[in-house]
Amino acid sequence: MQRLILALTTTFSRPALARTLVIVLVLGSLISFFYVVALPAGTLGALSFAALRFLTPWQVLASVLLGYGFALVIAMNAAAAGGNGGLRKGAGALGIGGLVASLLPSSLCCTPVIPLVLAALGVSAPTIFRTSGVFQAFFALHAAAFVSVSIGLVLLSVWLAAYNFTSGCALAAEKR
Amino acid sequence: MTMTNLISRRLHACCLVFAGMLLALAVWFPQSAAASGDLSVGASVPPFSYRLIDGKVLTPAALRGRPYVLWLMATWCSSCQGGTAVVAQHIAELRARGISVVQLEVAQDLGYPGPPLAAFRKAAGMAAASPNWYWGEATEAQTRALDPHAYPDLYYLVDARGRIVGTDGAPAATWSRIATFAAHP
């Protein structure tokens, strides 16, 4: 926790403050806005602003955590790069993984994607009838779990970025 | 550049490409469902009798001379829940225009049993009891004939002569199409 506080304090201090604010506010808002539309898109059946009518409080919270959490990771990495000359590994991949995983239910359920992919792979029609529902239902019925895991991954990536950030500071001080 | 950095960058690139592909699929496929097969526009709907969940049977004779929306769906399907909510909002309007909705659960929910259709119907509220909204279960043969590609959310717009005049999926996203059909069945 101390590392996280130290990393946040450093990231939101001069000289990185202006860049941090731009990254968090602009990138975070853009990603959050995308998820506000993308998360209820599964209920609508298309990625459209019309999906907002199905938006739930939980999805708003998830969108904010995913968007601003990922922006914070980028801001920390940018601050780390500015101070010590190198991006931190691991946190970015986890964050991107989280962002992608949260899109799986709305992308892969209830669309012709899976039946068409199975057909393209040469799977027979009777097998598609028996199995395509299994895949799609898995994504549909576990959508909340997918989003929860995604939030966990993004939060973990924030912590990892903070850990690497503060570790980097110590190493840089030793080198000097 | 170290090997770890190289792998990390490639991983990032792969994730971004994958995310882009998902986004493209999410945007493209719901709108393309109608164009990718199924019973074609202009064909006649097979003269099936549908088993309704109230124990009655909806015969071809009962549907003859009446335009209707024939909707095949799985009860685990999230876009079907959204679509049902939108149909519930408009069912009285459809009734006033003489349009019925025949909502059928596909056989065995395409291999993964979802909630019972009765529970799904109950979630639609009072509107689900509208006399122009039929709830039933498609048999295996009916599912194969009407939904040959095993799509979990597919509807046909059927005119008074029993001919298909349109097909699509996700009624909540494509309601304007149903509204146009209702205005000029």
Each residue's pLDDT tens digit, B85-101:
999 999 999 999 999 99
* A residues 36-75 closer than 8 Å to B (CB): 38, 41-48, 50, 54
| Token code pair at residue A11 | 């990231």
Each residue's pLDDT tens digit, A28-39:
999 999 999 999
Q: Is residue B37 part of a domain?
A: no
Rounded to whole angstroms, the Cα distance separating A156 from B7 reads 20
Rounded to whole angstroms, the Cα distance separating A13 from A25 reads 15
* B62 and B113 together in one domain: yes
Residue A82 has a pLDDT of 65
Cβ-proximal residues to A54 (8 Å cutoff; 6+ apart), any chain: A40, A43, A44, B82, B85, B172
Which residue in A45, A109, A134 is closest to B173 by CB distance?
A45
Average pLDDT score over residue span B125-147? 91
What total of structural domains would you count in chain B? 2
* B78 and B163 together in one domain: yes
Rounded to whole angstroms, the Cα distance separating B52 from B20 reads 42
* A residues 3-42 closer than 8 Å to B (CB): 38, 41-42
Q: Which residue of B has its CA nearest to A47?
A: B27
Beta strands in chain B (DSSP E): 50-52, 57-58, 68-73, 100-105, 133-137, 153-158, 164-168
Residue B21 banded pLDDT, cuts 50, 70, 90: low
User: How many CA within 13 A on the CB side of residue B164?
Assistant: 20
Q: Which residues of chain A are within 8 Å of residue B168 when distances are taken between CB atoms?
A: none
With CB atoms and an 8 Å threshold, state whether B79 touches A110.
Answer: yes
| Token code pair at residue B64 | 């003859």
Q: Omega into A15 within 30° of 0, i.e. cis?
A: yes
Q: Is residue B165 part of a domain?
A: yes
Average of per-residue pLDDT values in chain A: 80
Residue B31 has a pLDDT of 42
Q: Is residue B42 part of a domain?
A: no
Q: Is residue B38 part of a domain?
A: no
* B14 and B64 together in one domain: no
What total of structural domains would you count in chain A? 1
Classify strands B133-137 and B164-168 as parallel, antiparallel or unpaired: unpaired
* B1 and B92 together in one domain: no
* B143 and B172 together in one domain: yes
* B17 and B85 together in one domain: no
| Token code pair at residue B151 | 């799509």
Residue B102 has a pLDDT of 97
User: How many CA within 13 A on the CB side of residue B28?
Assistant: 8
* B68 and B158 together in one domain: yes
Which residue in A54, A96, A110 is closest to B15 by CB distance?
A96
Give ipTM to 2 decimals. Answer: 0.73
With CB atoms and an 8 Å threshold, state whether B78 touches A109.
Answer: yes
Top-confidence range, A57-61, A81-85, B6-10, B128-132: A57-61
Rounded to whole angstroms, the Cα distance separating A155 from B148 reads 43
Residue B16 banded pLDDT, cuts 50, 70, 90: low
Average pLDDT score over residue span B107-118? 88
Q: Are B105 and B147 in contact (CB under 8 A)?
A: no
pTM: 0.77
* A residues 152-171 closer than 8 Å to B (CB): none
As a three-state string, the secondary structure of A16-44 is CHHHHHHHHHHHHHHHHHHHHHHCCHHHH
CA distances from A128 to A117, A118, B148, B169 (A): 10, 7, 10, 19
Residue A176 has a pLDDT of 44
Q: Is residue B45 part of a domain?
A: no
Which residue in B15, B18, B170 is closest to A93 by CB distance?
B15
Q: Are B94 and B131 in contact (CB under 8 A)?
A: no
As a three-state string, the secondary structure of A87-117 is CCCCHHHHHHHHHHHCCHHHHHCCCCHHHHH
Picking from B8, B77, B143 by the largest number of A CB atoms within 10 A of its own CB, the best residue to mutate is B77
User: Could you read off the pLDDT tens digit of each residue along chain A, which spans 176 residues?
Assistant: 777 787 778 877 777 788 888 888 999 999 999 999 999 988 898 888 999 999 999 999 999 999 999 888 888 888 877 655 445 556 667 777 777 777 777 777 776 777 777 777 777 777 777 777 888 888 888 888 888 998 998 888 888 888 877 775 554 444 44
Residue range(s) defining the domain that contains residue B21: 1-30
Residue range(s) defining the domain that contains residue A153: 2-175
Q: Is residue B39 part of a domain?
A: no
